Structure 1
């Protein structure tokens, strides 16, 4: 990836692929509410080298916001950048749900104790050792990941998504 600076200087930035810090990258794609638009998006992004590992759609009368995560974040970003779709990116925390009676409640309780808000959450199409994973957009990803790790939860990173099959 090349970044442009004032004065015409160019600098190569490091890739973020397979990063192991405690976050996942979420892409939020704007879609007009027209028949076939979601299908167009899926045809564009899904390929042998890139799988959609999470999908959430927020619909309104005129448009929809589609939240996506990819098995290969850099490749997903490249495909979206080369497309005509408008999109933004943000960090989310991915947490493996524990084997307990109330796994989501356990995760939420740990974050509430730290006074962190969950703005939205959705499941990933990713399982490790038979356990589900949920992605959460929170006030502070780094703090949330540390709180959850300290409480005994396993945090999912982009490296995990690259290494596993779905």
Structure 2
């Protein structure tokens, strides 16, 4: 149920994001989801890719500062209020969300939300016990 997310520290300079995506493309790594958080001096690019270990190594070899973090991918209904159910479950379980980002699946009417939480196993259990589906690594990497 844990998904590996790759995080890359990027200086706010022209071409840095293009270089990351070029390195990934040259290594046949496909981006499944991404998020960028930035300040005036730097940004953090968070990626879900089809082969996180290969991406980590390729980006490291290209000189990027890269980390790998475990996150969870949760399926929620793609409708108004769909996300609220999962958030309520986590709130009631006392689980803090550090950040999240979402993307749509191609073949269903569901959205996928990537959560970074403090208590990963507790979050997975709470969600599953409340009928909210968390996705396996292979499912997410093969989207």
What TM-score comes out, normalization by structure 1 length? 0.78
Larger CA Rg, structure 1 vs 2: 1
Matches within 5 A, 1:66-77: 66-77=45-56
**SS at structure 2 position matched to 1:132:** strand
The more displaced of 35-44 and 125-134 is 125-134
The superposition leaves residues 117-161 of structure 1 with CA deviations (integer Å, 9 ceiling, x where unpaired) of 001000135445231101010011111011101111111121102
Q: CA RMSD in A?
A: 1.8
Q: 1:113 — aligned with what?
A: 92
Which of the pair is proportionally richer in strand? Answer: 2
Q: 2:75 & 2:56 partners in 1: Cα distance?
A: 24
Q: 1:78 & 1:128 partners in 2: Cα distance?
A: 31
The more displaced of 143-152 and 123-132 is 123-132
Q: 2:140 & 2:26 partners in 1: Cα distance?
A: 15
Q: 122, 129, 146: which is aligned to 2:125?
A: 146
Q: 1:159 & 1:47 partners in 2: Cα distance?
A: 22
Matched pairs, number: 143
Q: CA deviation at 1:27?
A: 1.3
What TM-score comes out, normalization by structure 2 length? 0.90
Where do 4+ consecutive residues of structure 1 move more than 2 Å? 46-49, 98-101, 124-130, 161-164
> Which stretches in structure 1 are left out of the alignment for 5+ residues?
1-21
Q: 2:8 — aligned with what?
A: 29
Q: 2:136 — aligned with what?
A: 157
Asked whether the 8 Å contact 1:71–1:158 carries over to 2, the reply is: no
**SS at structure 2 position matched to 1:154:** coil
> Which stretches in structure 2 are left out of the alignment for 5+ residues?
none
